[in-house]
Amino acid sequence: MSRLYSLDRLRPRLYSVLELGPTAGRLGTTISWILICLIAVTLTATVMESVPRLANAYGKLFDIVEYAALTVFSIEYLARMWTAAEHPPWRRLGFLQSGLHS
């Protein structure tokens, strides 16, 4: 019961951090900046990888960047799916609440 209670408290907090970003406090600001920096690094690596000489020299590094970004953005996506029931228009539809608790 206490585990379920703590998850019920975590979901609204995580929703506010993901949706409000910097206005949700220090954690929201940090997560927003991490995601922005990861986007910039991924874009830079993708552009650099299009240069054959750089792709040959740093291909493994570019792969690591790509897999790291894939992992982080997948986690973010799953977190957003889990917190969707906290979105005000969806909150009124009670079926989401019960389906996403577990």
pTM of the model: 0.76
Alpha-carbon 76 to chain mean position:
2
Q: Where are the domains of the chain?
A: 2-99
What is the phi-psi region of residue 21: left when phi exceeds 0, alpha when psi lies from -120 to 50, beta otherwise?
left
| pLDDT, tens only, 29-75 | 999 999 999 999 999 999 999 999 999 999 999 999 999 999 999 99
